[in-house]
């Protein structure tokens, strides 16, 4: 899974979408410079926009008289060599190609400008122009997002198609929730992806955890309030900490497990100290959603630039899913190489998880921020997207245990990205 391979494949996304006549992604620039182009190109003025499916020559004409700008983008990955890097590099390539080089994207790796606790402030004050954030780290501020993450436990898990479905469903939930969108707006931020479901949640532990008895007294690093409640219900002791601290905590025995996505576990080398991977097949843990947000300078950009960034973020979800799903396969491989067991939870344990998740979802619905019929919406959306992705050829051909063997690392997720953007509701929020 290399950047070179992604760059080679991404133009297929434009063909499948019937949108960008030539796509590639690249980011570059200095923090806080979005919208600061000299002359008439800044200040939200300077030319008209263009249709999403406009020919490249029409886009070139729309930006011809605009001054070049540089935007600073902070993705989730630690480095360009990370298994998570495609989530950032694909966006960069598409933006720079679609803008004809008028927009330069500067990627900042490893949360070098602002950690997740500070990233929203960095977007507001101009240190960052676009960033991947974790709203769930502040459940009081982003209450609607937190509640949506809780009810996402209703989506059936799997390491491949299940991840595609969950992210498509989550995308719809985020764009259709006015409470979530209003929160971003009140902070002066523009959502590009208001709710990114990212990867499913697994236990990564220093000893095998399969049954309900194994959870008794287990010290578990968690990422959300819902996961804390789930851990306690199963008999464990939840511990909240930044993910960067997890490796050392597991190494020292401060915690026994981390309940998390597999991609960051693979990137951080967690399996060196906690090689045992446990997973659900029916029930699911609540999700800890992220978001892709643009900062305070975004609306000062010319309309055409805003549209390029918005469209590019949507199509760059092809790289995001390559990172998530490819990371799942890499994590399974790492666990096996470290001598760990990769095993599903027992039926009894999954029943407990499912039963308690229903109660948590009812509490989330009771908060009044996500709609009384949200579970029906989730189930309907899950069914529709599952059918659509089957049609596109995204199918599970095995289990988590052998995912590293049956997943094709050359899978092209362009059709996924264009389907979600063209057939979902995100385009209704496209700058105009």
Assess if residue 409 is contained within a domain: yes
Residues of the domain holding 390: 3-135+161-197+289-322+373-429
What CATH number has the domain bearing residue 59?
3.40.190
- C-alpha distances in angstroms, 16 versus 8, 167, 353? 15, 20, 39
For residue 239 the two structure tokens come to 């511990």
Assess if residue 270 is contained within a domain: no
Assess if residue 347 is contained within a domain: no
Assess if residue 122 is contained within a domain: yes
- The count of other CB atoms within 10 Å of the CB of residue 382 is 19
d(CA 312, CA 98): 8
- Answer whether 0.85 is exceeded by the pTM: yes
Assess if residue 40 is contained within a domain: yes
DSSP state of 429: G
Assess if residue 76 is contained within a domain: yes
Backbone angles phi, psi at 95, to 5 degrees: -60, -50
d(CA 68, CA 140): 39
DSSP 184-249: HHHTT-EEEEEEE--S--EEEESS---SSGGGTT-EEEESSHHHHHHHHHTT-EEEE--GGGHHHH
Per-run averaged pLDDT (10 residues), the chain, 432 residues: 28 34 31 37 61 96 97 95 92 98 97 95 98 93 95 94 97 98 98 94 95 95 88 94 88 94 90 96 88 97 98 97 95 97 95 93 97 97 97 96 96 98 96 95
Assess if residue 88 is contained within a domain: yes
| Burial (0-12, 13-18, 19+ Cβ within 10 Å), 156 | middle
Torsion, Cα 52 55 59 64, to 10 degrees, reads: -170
Assess if residue 377 is contained within a domain: yes
Give me the residues paired with residue 190 across strands: 294
d(CA 246, CA 152): 24
Total domain count for the chain? 1
């Amino acid at each position: 899974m290399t950047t070179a391979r992604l760059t080679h494949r991404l133009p297929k996304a434009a063909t499948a979408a019937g949108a960008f006549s030539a796509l590639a992604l690249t980011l570059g620039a200095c923090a806080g410079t979005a919208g600061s182009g000299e002359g008439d190109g800044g200040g939200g003025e300077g030319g008209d926009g263009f249709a999403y499916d406009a020919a490249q020559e029409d886009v070139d004409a729309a930006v011809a008289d605009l001054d070049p700008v540089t935007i600073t983008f902070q993705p989730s990955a630690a480095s360009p060599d990370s298994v998570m890097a495609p989530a950032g590099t694909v966006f960069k390539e598409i933006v720079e190609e679609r803008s004809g080089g008028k927009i330069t994207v500067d990627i900042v790796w490893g949360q070098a400008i602002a950690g997740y606790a500070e990233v929203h402030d960095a977007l507001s004050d101009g240190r960052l122009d676009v960033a991947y954030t974790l709203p769930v780290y502040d459940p009081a501020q982003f209450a609607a997002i937190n509640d949506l993450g809780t009810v996402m436990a209703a989506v059936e898990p799997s390491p491949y198609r299940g991840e595609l479905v969950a992210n498509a469903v989550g995308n719809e939930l985020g764009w259709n929730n006015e409470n979530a969108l209003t929160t971003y707006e009140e902070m002066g931020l523009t959502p590009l992806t208001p709710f990114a479901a990212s990867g499913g949640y697994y236990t990564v532990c220093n000893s095998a955890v399969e049954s309900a008895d194994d959870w008794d007294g287990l010290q578990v690093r968690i990422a959300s309030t819902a996961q804390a409640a789930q851990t306690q219900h199963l008999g464990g002791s939840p511990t909240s900490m930044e993910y960067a601290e997890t490796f050392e905590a597991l190494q020292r025995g401060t915690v026994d497990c981390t309940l998390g996505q597999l991609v960051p576990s693979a990137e951080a080398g967690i399996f060196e100290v906690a090689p045992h991977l446990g997973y659900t097949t029916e029930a699911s843990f609540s999700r800890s959603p992220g978001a892709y947000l643009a900062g305070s300078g975004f609306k000062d950009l010319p309309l055409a630039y805003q549209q390029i960034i918005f469209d590019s973020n949507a199509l760059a979800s092809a790289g995001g899913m390559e990172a998530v799903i490819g990371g799942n396969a890499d994590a399974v491989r790492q666990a096996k190489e470290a001598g760990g067991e990769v095993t599903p939870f027992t039926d009894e344990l999954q029943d407990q998880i499912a039963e308690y998740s229903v109660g948590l979802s009812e509490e989330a619905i009771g908060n009044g921020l996500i709609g009384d019929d949200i579970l029906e919406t989730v189930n309907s959306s899950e069914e529709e997207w599952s059918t659509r992705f089957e049609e596109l050829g995204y199918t599970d051909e095995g289990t988590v245990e052998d995912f590293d063997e049956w997943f094709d690392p050359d899978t092209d997720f362009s059709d996924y990205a264009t389907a979600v953007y063209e057939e979902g509701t995100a385009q209704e929020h496209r700058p105009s």
